[in-house]
Structure 1
Amino acid sequence: MTSDAKPLSGLRVLVPRGGTWGDLVARALREQGASPVVAPLVDFAHTSEEEKLVEALKLLEAGHYDWITATSSTVVDVLAYHHTVIPASTRVAVVGEATAAAFEHAGYQVSRTPSEENNTTAGLLEVWPEIDEGDVLRVLTLRSDVAKPVLTEGLIGRGHDVTQVVAFRTIGIPASVHTREDVESGRINALLVASAKIAREVAEQFPNLPEDTIVACVGPHTHPEAIAAGLLHNPAHERSELKRALIETVESVIDQSDMLD
């Protein structure tokens, strides 16, 4: 199949996150004929719970926890920043394609992930037999400041000893002048919006989108959050096969939990 025959040929797509997430999405877009432009609009800053995080990571490295959980690939960056190594006695449970890939790339074996049919935090609780065997487990849950504590609440509800820590904060970062010019001129003719925070950044940083620019919201709640942020969508694109193909391409490699900041 030639490039011209691929479903996303002709699209130059802004990918608003870097790291493992951006790599996975960019690769999938290229395979479908698009030209991805990785230009992160969000980054991650130190947590407001730094002292609590440092103490928890010391306990982690000492083998105190039976399990560690993560729903963001950024947790791997947090571990690396603090030079923390997960001991072999502590098992890893994660949600999200990008999260699992980041842990495995860092050399950690992931013991539990949700099923493909329900690849969510709630889905992980359904396929984690150890949490229903009666033993009280010591679990460290690391998450962002915007992620809902679904895993934490589910584990506490089952009687486990859970240490919950906000490991990082999500902040907006400005696009480069070159990227802004490419978006405003239409040379970048499609934008991915993968979270409420990214929706707000797109609305603020690109207030004068060309009418033909495709705004593709991925994730279960992103579209209404984008509308609330003031991000305009072209009604003519609502039934666009090209937009649908773009969304399906991203969602084929990135699941719901990876849409969280």
Structure 2
Amino acid sequence: MSAESKPLSGLRVLVPRGGTWGDLVAQALREQGAHTVIAPLVDFAHTSEEDKLVDALKDLEAGRFDWMTATSSTVADVLTHHNAVIHPDTSVALVGEATAVAFRDAGFPITRTPSEDNSTHTLLREWSEIDTTDVLRVLTLRSDVAVPVLTEGLISRGHDVTQVLAFRTVGVPASVHIREDIASGRINALLVASAKIAEEVAAQFPDLPESTIVACIGPNTLAAAEAVGLRDNPGGAQKQALLDTVESVIDQSDMLD
């Protein structure tokens, strides 16, 4: 297939996160003909629960948890930063391809991921160990802005859950060059991949050209975008191809814990 005939040809797409997530998304978009600009609008800062995190990681190394969970690739960075050790008897459940890639690259074990539809809800359905009469000790590590779907699902099943905010998500100002390219329409598609990114896009780019495609990943992000006044333009077949491409490599539950 020539570059001109690929579904995303003609699009110059702002990828609003870096790291493993940004690399996976950008590669998938380029394979479909898009040009990509990785310009993080969010970054990750130290948690407000640092003491609790340190204590939990000591318990993790000592084997006091049956399972730990992560749904964000940033958790692997947090574990690496703290020189964390996952005890051999502790199993690890992950959601999201970027999360799995980051854990593998960091040398951490992976016990369970959803077999299909890589989402938090699917993990809860397929995770057979949590539907027995045994009470499991589970450590859930998440962002301060993540919706605690996994944590609440485990608690509702009667398990002993230690939930820790492993990192904070903070906004990052776009460069002058990026702002100019968006204002001029040179960057003509924006990915909005979380509620926090929706806030940053609305605040930093208040006067988007009418022709710019705004692609919100998942219903939670779309609702957040609407709440901050960010328009969700139709976009047609190219917008749908953009959404499909991103969702083929990154599950929208990345912002669910």
Place the TM-score, normalised by the shorter chain, in its bin: over 0.9
Task: Please name the residue that 2:172 is paired with.
Answer: 173
Task: Please name the residue that 1:8 is paired with.
Answer: 8
Task: Please name the residue that 1:61 is paired with.
Answer: 61
Deviations 1:79-107 (A, max 9, x none): 11111121222110011121122112212
Code of the residue aligned with 2:63 in structure 1: it is G
Q: Which runs of 4+ in 1 moved over 4 A?
A: none
| 1:107 partnered with 2:103 | no
Conservation of the 8 A alpha-carbon contact between 1:218 and 1:259: no
Code of the residue aligned with 2:133 in structure 1: it is G
Conservation of the 8 A alpha-carbon contact between 1:47 and 1:166: yes
SS of equivalent to 1:29:
helix
Code of the residue aligned with 1:6 in structure 2: it is K
State the distance in 1 between where 2:5 and 2:255 align: 29
State the distance in 2 between where 1:149 and 1:22 align: 23
1:171-210 matches, within 5 Å, as 171-210=170-209
1:84-233 matches, within 5 Å, as 84-117=84-117, 119-233=118-232
Code of the residue aligned with 1:164 in structure 2: it is Q
State the distance in 2 between where 1:243 and 1:95 align: 25
SS of equivalent to 2:219:
coil
Task: Please name the residue that 2:33 is paired with.
Answer: 33
User: Normalization by structure 1: what TM-score?
Assistant: 0.93
| 1:250 partnered with 2:246 | yes
Deviations 1:176-225 (A, max 9, x none): 11111111111111101111111110011111212211111111222232
Code of the residue aligned with 2:21 in structure 1: it is W
Conservation of the 8 A alpha-carbon contact between 1:184 and 1:208: yes
State the distance in 2 between where 1:228 and 1:150 align: 21
SS of equivalent to 1:76:
helix
| 1:80 partnered with 2:80 | yes
- The worse-fitting range, judged by mean Cα deviation, of 103-112 and 69-78 is 103-112
Conservation of the 8 A alpha-carbon contact between 2:131 and 2:157: yes
State the distance in 1 between where 2:230 and 2:70 align: 30
State the distance in 2 between where 1:154 and 1:232 align: 32
| Unmatched runs of 5 consecutive residues or more in structure 2 | none
SS of equivalent to 2:249:
coil
| Unmatched runs of 5 consecutive residues or more in structure 1 | none
Give the RMSD, CA atoms, in angstroms.
1.6
Task: Please name the residue that 2:23 is paired with.
Answer: 23
Deviations 1:124-170 (A, max 9, x none): 12111222233222211111111122222222232322211111111
SS of equivalent to 1:85:
coil
Code of the residue aligned with 1:84 in structure 2: it is A
Matched pairs, number: 257
State the distance in 1 between where 2:235 and 2:4 align: 22
State the distance in 1 between where 2:140 and 2:232 align: 37
State the distance in 2 between where 1:12 and 1:69 align: 35
